[in-house]
Amino acid sequence: MTAYDVKFCKQGNMVYISHLDLMTLFRRAIRRADLPFVLSSGFTPRVKISMPKALKLGKRSDSEGMQFRLTERRDPYELTELLNLELPHGIRISEISEKKEEGAKK
């Protein structure tokens, strides 16, 4: 399992999308890009993503953060290209980097 940190911008009409809708938007983009995503456990499994900070409705941002996990390792540049193709105008990923796992063996 590989974790990725994502930096994205939220501009234009997309500033009016709520935090929960933004999470749904990214889950759908990951599914549409046909990535080997990790599902949450429970009765209704979902693509496992995390957005630690919610941006206020109507606020523009050039550097928001998100994390997600894939079952296999992928090139961050390739992930950026695939996901940007699936995201609507106003939401753009600027950078994806492989997250350093805490406590990982060297």
pLDDT in tens, 29-49: 999 999 999 998 889 888 999
Given a cut of 50, whether residue 79 has pLDDT beyond it is yes
Look at residue 106 and tell me if it is in a domain: no
As a whole number of Å, the end-to-end CA separation of the chain is 16
Its pTM stands at 0.87
Look at residue 104 and tell me if it is in a domain: no
Look at residue 53 and tell me if it is in a domain: yes
Look at residue 91 and tell me if it is in a domain: yes
Look at residue 39 and tell me if it is in a domain: yes
State which residues form the domain around 92: 2-98
Look at residue 31 and tell me if it is in a domain: yes
CATH number for the domain that contains residue 82: 3.30.70.580
Which has the closest alpha carbon to 91: 33, 6, 32? 6
Sort 41 into a burial class: Cβ within 10 Å, 0-12 / 13-18 / 19+.
Answer: exposed
Look at residue 103 and tell me if it is in a domain: no
Given a cut of 60, whether residue 106 has pLDDT beyond it is no
